[in-house]
């Protein structure tokens, strides 16, 4: 199982990939900000959700991906 | 020759073709782009076109089989229509877009090389919508430009139309469609009935286009404040105003969804866009709150936009008298990332004086009775409303567009 740090790092990378680098992994890791506030667009969200579902083999509840912390919690409970 | 069923996206377009015949050329997709600065000969451009056609199966595909139940047939080689001309790009694009494709005989693209002397200055591409949607057209332009500069490109990674059709018929594909049907029918059950009718004019469908700097500035300001895209802001305004027309508390509008979210779908060259359904609860008087609702609802809706269109039609058509989605929203802007600009209220209100509205098209038949398109430049937006006059008379069409503008300007300065 990944440590929290590894999981956060991987998810932050996935946010950067989903937004074509418009949102940087370091910014995602820096705080508790909502992903939308960092500049993740609806297209970025949809790509992220798809990538997370494919990588972790889960179905993501759309309301559980507002922030990195929420995503980590959701994956801990469901993956 | 390889044959396969049509994909869901192609079936959607085929339904639109049948509903609009013989005026379905409005579905053609035209693109104009400048050739690279390095001089390009016609010979070089023809070679790039050959490579483009070899690279994308969609460009080598025509329909086959019976007219009421067509299939797609991929050929190993295709020679699309090409002309070399010194006319202006827009004139050529309009001319090549002006006739429907001959779906059984003609290759799904028409090309013009615009030359000055021996060199190609611009390229015009007109695509059949059965082969490409707007995003695919942009991908083709990108590839074409690169092929004018380079001899080859890395092979495409995304699924081909035949692979899409195969996946759609697989258990996973059918499950995806069933989930979308379940989502849509659940949303339909929440809708209030629509009772809206007027005396139809001839021709029956009228389009008005509003060109406005104010709506662009206002939509971006609201988007920046609410941390959503301007597309969501415009969609929310459209649903709110539609709800005022229909008197619905729960109003659902269809929205064109790109469906390229998965990694292996990002660069699909085919018609993969389909409609999503955005149903808003319009009881809230606060526009900002409604926009935030719009963002959440739209995200869910975008995930339910892949389905068998004939099964969907059957599922939603019997939901009860007047229970229907109202209209279709299509944001076709190329620039999706919003600029955050300082907003001067007086300047924005003053710019409303320069807003223009023109009647831009008419049709006798169409699959959709209320279609909103957003386009134009970042600072000067074009919003078109194509409506069945049997639903909304021309003065109502005009009013709807002006109300879009005033709703957003008021929201920006609330």
Q: Which of B299, B301, B329, B339 to mutate to test the interface with A (most CBs of A within 10 A)?
A: B299
Domain ranges in chain A?
A: 4-78
pLDDT tens-digit series, residues B8-63: 999 999 999 999 999 999 999 999 999 998 899 999 999 999 999 999 999 999 99
Angstrom distances, CA of residue B360 to CA of A15, A76, B44, B150, B387: 42, 55, 38, 40, 12
Report phi then psi at B240, rounded to 5: -60, -45
Q: Which fold has domain B2-165?
A: Chloramphenicol Acetyltransferase (3.30.559)
The CATH code of domain B173-412 reads: 3.30.559.30
Q: Provide the 3-class DSSP secondary structure of residue B30.
A: strand
pLDDT tens-digit series, residues B374-398: 999 888 999 999 999 999 999 999 9
List all residues 6 or more positions away from B69 whose beta carbon is below 8 Å from its beta carbon. none
Q: Kindly list the residues from chain B whose CB atom is less than 8 angstroms away from the CB atom of residue A22.
A: 337
Predicted confidence at residue B326, as pLDDT, reads: 94
How much is the pTM?
0.94
Q: Kindly list the residues from chain B whose CB atom is less than 8 angstroms away from the CB atom of residue A54.
A: 262-263
- How close does chain A come to B333, measured CA to CA in Å? 14
pLDDT tens-digit series, residues B254-273: 999 999 999 889 999 999 99
Domain ranges in chain B with CATH number 3.30.559.30: 173-412
Q: Kindly list the residues from chain A whose CB atom is less than 8 angstroms away from the CB atom of residue B231.
A: 42
**What are the residues of chain A with a beta carbon less than 8 Å away from any beta carbon of chain B?**
22, 34, 36-37, 41-43, 45-47, 49-51, 54, 62-63
Contact between B298 and A22 using a beta-carbon 8 Å cutoff: no
**CB burial string B139-160: b at 16+ within 10 A, e below:** bbbebbbebbeeeeeeeeebbb
Domain ranges in chain B with CATH number 3.30.559.10: 2-165
Contact status, residue B360 vs residue B286, Cβ threshold 8 Å: no
Residue B410's pLDDT band (cuts 50, 70, 90): very high
Contact between B261 and A47 using a beta-carbon 8 Å cutoff: yes
Q: ipTM score here? A: 0.83
Architecture of domain A4-78: Orthogonal Bundle (1.10)
């Amino acid at each position: 199982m990944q440590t929290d740090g590894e999981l956060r790092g991987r998810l932050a990378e996935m946010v950067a990939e989903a937004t074509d680098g418009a949102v940087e992994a370091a910014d995602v890791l820096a705080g508790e900000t909502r992903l939308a506030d960092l500049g993740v667009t609806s297209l970025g969200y949809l790509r992220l959700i798809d990538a997370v579902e494919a990588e972790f083999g889960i179905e993501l509840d759309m309301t559980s991906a507002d922030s990195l912390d929420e995503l980590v919690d959701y994956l801990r409970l469901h993956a | 020759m390889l044959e396969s069923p049509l994909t869901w996206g192609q079936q959607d377009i085929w339904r639109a073709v049948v509903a609009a015949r013989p005026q379905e050329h409005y579905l053609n997709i035209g693109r104009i782009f400048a050739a690279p600065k390095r001089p390009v000969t016609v010979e070089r451009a023809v070679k790039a076109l050959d490579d483009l056609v070899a690279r994308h199966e969609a460009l080598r595909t025509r329909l086959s089989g019976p007219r009421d139940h067509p299939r797609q047939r991929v050929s190993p080689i295709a020679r699309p229509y090409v002309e070399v001309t010194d006319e202006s790009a827009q004139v050529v694009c309009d001319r090549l877009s002006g006739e429907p494709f001959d779906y059984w005989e003609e290759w799904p693209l028409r090309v013009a090389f615009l030359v000055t002397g021996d060199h190609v200055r611009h390229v015009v591409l007109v695509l059949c919508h059965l082969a490409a949607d707007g995003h695919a057209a942009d991908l083709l332009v990108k590839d074409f430009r690169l092929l004018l500069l380079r001899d080859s490109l890395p092979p495409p990674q995304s699924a081909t139309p035949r692979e899409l059709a195969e996946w759609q018929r697989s258990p996973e594909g059918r499950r995806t469609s069933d989930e979308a049907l379940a989502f849509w029918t659940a949303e339909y059950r929440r809708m209030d009935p629509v009772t809206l009718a007027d005396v139809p004019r001839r021709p029956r469908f009228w389009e008005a286009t509003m060109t406005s700097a104010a709506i662009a500035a206002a939509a971006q300001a609201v988007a920046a404040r609410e941390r959503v895209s301007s597309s969501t802001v415009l969609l929310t305004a459209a649903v709110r105003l539609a709800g005022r027309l229909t008197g619905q508390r729960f109003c659902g509008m269809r929205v064109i969804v790109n469906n390229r979210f998965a990694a292996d779908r990002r660069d699909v060259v085919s018609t993969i866009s389909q409609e999503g359904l955005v149903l808003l609860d319009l009881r809230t008087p606060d526009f900002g709150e409604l926009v935030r609702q719009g963002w959440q609802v739209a995200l869910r809706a975008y995930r339910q936009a892949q389905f068998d269109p004939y099964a969907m039609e059957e599922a939603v058509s019997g939901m009860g008298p007047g229970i229907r989605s109202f209209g279709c929203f299509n944001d076709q802007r190329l620039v999706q990332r919003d600029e955050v600009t300082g907003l001067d209220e007086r300047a924005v209100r003053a710019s409303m004086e320069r807003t223009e509205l023109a009647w831009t098209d008419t049709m006798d038949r169409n699959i959709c009775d209320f279609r909103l398109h957003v386009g134009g430049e970042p600072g000067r937006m074009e919003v078109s409303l194509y409506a069945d006059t049997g639903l909304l008379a021309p003065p109502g069409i005009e009013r709807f567009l002006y109300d879009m503008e005033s709703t957003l300007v008021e929201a920006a300065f609330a």
